[in-house]
Amino acid sequence: MSANASAVEATFLSPDFDTFIKGEIDGHRPIAVIPDDLRLALPADASLLLLSRPTAEKQYREHRDIVAADYRKVQAMLDKGEVFRDREMHLGLLHDQGSWFYAVIKTTKTGKAVFLQSFRRTNVSDIERMRARSVVIRQAQ
């Protein structure tokens, strides 16, 4: 297992991860390894996708149906999901994992860090709107 994959696994095995995703702990945590094609598309030097406290707090407030185990699904979205660009320094990720999930990742201006900005369940009509306003840069695999 790579050092990056180990760091991500440590996040999910941490006894305080459930508390962290409620926005009750400061800092940020690595939740996925960013594939090279997406690092180039952003562009970013960072290889870990981070979840910050402010985003965790927002997620918990607005999407209580997203639980700790769901955050593991972000890796499959990065690796196999449909990817599209709708804004500079942002990528949208779409993936069917029994139900549809949508995530947005963003890089900092320097490209030194990449953060999860949003993560939620979605539906077909929402997906059609996203595709209509975006440029698909990778089809789902």
How does pLDDT run along the chain (141 residues), one tens digit per residue?
799 999 999 999 999 999 999 999 999 999 999 999 999 999 999 999 999 999 999 999 999 999 999 999 999 999 999 999 978 889 999 898 888 999 999 999 999 999 999 999 998 888 888 888 888 999 998
Give the domain extent around 64. Answer: 3-138
Round to whole Å and give the CA distance between 99 and 17: 23
Residue 32 CB coordination number (10 Å) = 27
Global confidence as pTM: 0.94
* Sequence letter at residue 90: H
> In the chain, how many domains are there?
1
Distance CA 133, CA 52 (A): 27
Tell me if 9 sits within 8 A of 1, measured CB to CB: yes
Question: Taking Cα atoms as reference points, which of 82, 57, 56 lies closest to residue 71?
Answer: 56
Cis before 43? omega within 30: yes
